[in-house]
């Protein structure tokens, strides 16, 4: 039986579209990308030429694209500020939506997205691709087997020594809502909450810093206009969950630290064992009266010159999302979970601004 194809429309044809979503969707035989929208028409046209199905349409107004009833899925790949309004409009137009991370610029906007998904009955997911890494899948299976016991302390890392993105709207506070915390810290926090399966925060204390304003500070992508870059270069959160568990979040674009730690890294401490994702996976536990550390060799890709199965985390994210649409199942990243990430990020920013803890009410 021939499998039907999912007709996909793309809103936002910039870097994250070309660097992640479009190449991954193009690999899926069950997908047809039939519409491309960007406020810069040339970007939409180029994306359509490189990734579109025959006859793919190009738009500069997403509301016009959403009138096409044949489009079943929309990917929202725009700056953070517009995530909510475009996602809500897409859901109400009868489309399932993949929205790039973070869910929205603010928690209030993220709630509007969740409410729209519930109201329309359409699927909504958020692009936290680190959940789809081989390391994450392995550790998820270890945790589900009960090997770690109760996870009561964790660290979430996304620490760059130098790595301030100076292109697009990354340094535009109005468009993005923040710096490294909302940009890359969001990935590590999402992954940590999912591994702990704990989405009930009680209290947050946060700090943020802008201490390295020099555009000539060895940034690999060059400098920036110091009058335009108003965002933090590092931020830190101390998060206490309702069950007493603690999470420490560390994130930076620029920080004079000895060891940079890639986004999507974490450390978990449980009652039976501990685990870490940082340039691979490590499990630590006691065995036969001795402390041992296990570093599994995971299959992360194919073999050179052999056309075997090889999937990046972005490819796996796209495939599982489209399969959820085809099979009418829940996506791996649920909007309720992504909302909690946004709520905690916002609480860290608020605490950093006021110098006071932020407490969460009962939900």
Co-location of 16 and 88 in the same domain = yes
Q: Which of 71, 98, 128 is the last residue of a domain?
A: 128
Co-location of 70 and 206 in the same domain = no
- Domain-located, residue 317: no
- Domain-located, residue 332: no
**Looking at residue 172, what is its pLDDT?**
87
Co-location of 124 and 12 in the same domain = yes
**Looking at residue 53, what is its pLDDT?**
96
Distance CA 155, CA 262 (A): 13
Instruction: Outline where the chain has alpha helix (H).
Output: 15-16, 22-26, 41-51, 62-65, 83-92, 107-120, 134-144, 173-176, 180, 186-196, 313-327, 335-354
**Residue 244's domain is classified under what CATH number?**
3.30.360.10
Co-location of 170 and 194 in the same domain = yes
Distance CA 261, CA 159 (A): 5
Co-location of 205 and 156 in the same domain = yes
Q: Do the Cβ atoms of 280 and 133 come closer than 8 Å?
A: no
Co-location of 159 and 120 in the same domain = no
Show the domain range for 280. Answer: 131-311+341-359
Structure tokens at 228: 């335009």
Query: Angle 357-277-284 (CA atoms, 0-180°, nearest 5)?
Result: 100
Q: Do the Cβ atoms of 128 and 102 come closer than 8 Å?
A: no
Co-location of 349 and 240 in the same domain = yes
**Looking at residue 303, what is its pLDDT?**
41
- Domain-located, residue 334: no
- Domain-located, residue 330: no
* CA nearest to 273, candidates 288, 247, 293: 293
Q: Which of 86, 101, 128 is the last residue of a domain?
A: 128
How far is C-alpha 46 from the chain's CA centre? 25
List of residues 6+ apart from 115 with CB closer than 8 A: none
How far is C-alpha 275 from the chain's CA centre? 21
Co-location of 51 and 148 in the same domain = no
Distance CA 14, CA 184 (A): 18
**Looking at residue 299, what is its pLDDT?**
77
Does 217 have pLDDT greater than 80? no
Q: Determine whether 178 is exposed, middle or buried from the number of CB atoms within 10 Å of its CB (0-12, 13-18, 19+).
A: buried
Co-location of 116 and 230 in the same domain = no
What pLDDT, in 10s, does the model give residues 263-296? 999 999 999 999 999 999 999 999 999 999 999 9
- Domain-located, residue 322: no
More confident of the two residues 216 and 233 = 233
Co-location of 174 and 96 in the same domain = no
Q: Please report where in the chains the tokens 């990243």 appear, as a residue.
A: 333
- Domain-located, residue 345: yes
Co-location of 91 and 183 in the same domain = no
- DSSP assignment of 186-229 equals HHHHHHHHHHHT---EEEEEEEEE-----TTS--TT----TTT-
Strands 151-159 vs 124-127: parallel, antiparallel or unpaired? unpaired
**Residue 116's domain is classified under what CATH number?**
3.40.50.720
- Domain-located, residue 175: yes
List of residues 6+ apart from 71 with CB closer than 8 A: 7, 8, 9, 34, 35, 65, 95
What pLDDT, in 10s, does the model give residues 17-66? 999 999 999 999 999 999 999 999 999 999 999 999 999 999 999 999 99
Does 304 have pLDDT greater than 50? no
Co-location of 345 and 214 in the same domain = yes
- Domain-located, residue 302: yes
* Domains of the chain: total: 2
- The pLDDT of 104-119, averaged and rounded, is 98
Q: Which of 79, 94, 128 is the last residue of a domain?
A: 128
- The pLDDT of 303-323, averaged and rounded, is 78
Distance CA 108, CA 224 (A): 31
In angstroms, the Cα distances linking 93 to 70, 108, 256 are 11, 21, 47
């Amino acid at each position: 039986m021939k499998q039907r194809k999912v007709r996909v429309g793309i809103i936002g044809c910039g870097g994250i579209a070309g660097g992640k979503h479009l190449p991954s969707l193009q690999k899926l035989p069950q997908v047809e990308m039939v519409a491309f929208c960007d406020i810069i028409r040339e970007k939409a046209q180029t994306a359509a030429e490189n990734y579109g199905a025959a006859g793919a349409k190009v738009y500069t107004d997403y509301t016009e694209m959403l009138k096409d009833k044949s489009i079943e899925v929309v990917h929202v790949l725009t700056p953070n500020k517009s995530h909510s309004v475009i996602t809500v409009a897409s859901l109400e137009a009868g489309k399932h939506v993949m929205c790039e991370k973070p869910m929205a610029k603010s928690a209030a906007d993220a709630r509007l997205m969740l409410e729209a998904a519930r109201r329309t009955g359409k699927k909504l997911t958020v692009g936290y691709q680190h959940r789809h890494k081989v390391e994450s899948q392995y550790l998820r299976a270890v945790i589900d087997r009960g090997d770690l016991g109760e996870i009561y302390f964790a660290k979430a890392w996304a620490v760059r020594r130098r790595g301030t993105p100076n292109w697009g709207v990354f340094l535009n506070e109005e468009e993005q809502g923040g710096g490294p915390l909302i940009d890359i810290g969001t990935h590590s926090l999402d992954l940590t909450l999912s591994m702990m399966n704990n989405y009930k925060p009680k209290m947050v204390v946060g700090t943020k810093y802008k201490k390295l304003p020099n555009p000539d500070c060895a940034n690999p992508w060059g400098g920036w206009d110091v009058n335009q870059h108003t965002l933090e270069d590092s931020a830190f959160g101390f998060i206490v969950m309702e069950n007493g568990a603690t999470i420490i979040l560390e994130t930076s674009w620029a920080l004079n630290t000895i060891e940079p730690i890639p986004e999507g890294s974490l450390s978990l401490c449980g009652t039976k064992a501990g685990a870490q994702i940082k340039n691979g996976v490590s499990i630590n536990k006691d065995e036969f009266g001795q402390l041992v550390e296990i570093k599994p060799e995971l299959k992360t890709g194919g073999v050179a010159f052999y056309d075997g199965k090889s999937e990046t985390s972005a490819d796996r994210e796209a495939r599982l999302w489209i399969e959820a649409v085809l099979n009418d199942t829940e996506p791996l990243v649920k909007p309720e979970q992504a909302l909690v990430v946004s709520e905690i990020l916002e609480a860290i920013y608020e605490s950093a601004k006021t110098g006071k803890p932020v407490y969460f009410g009962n939900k």
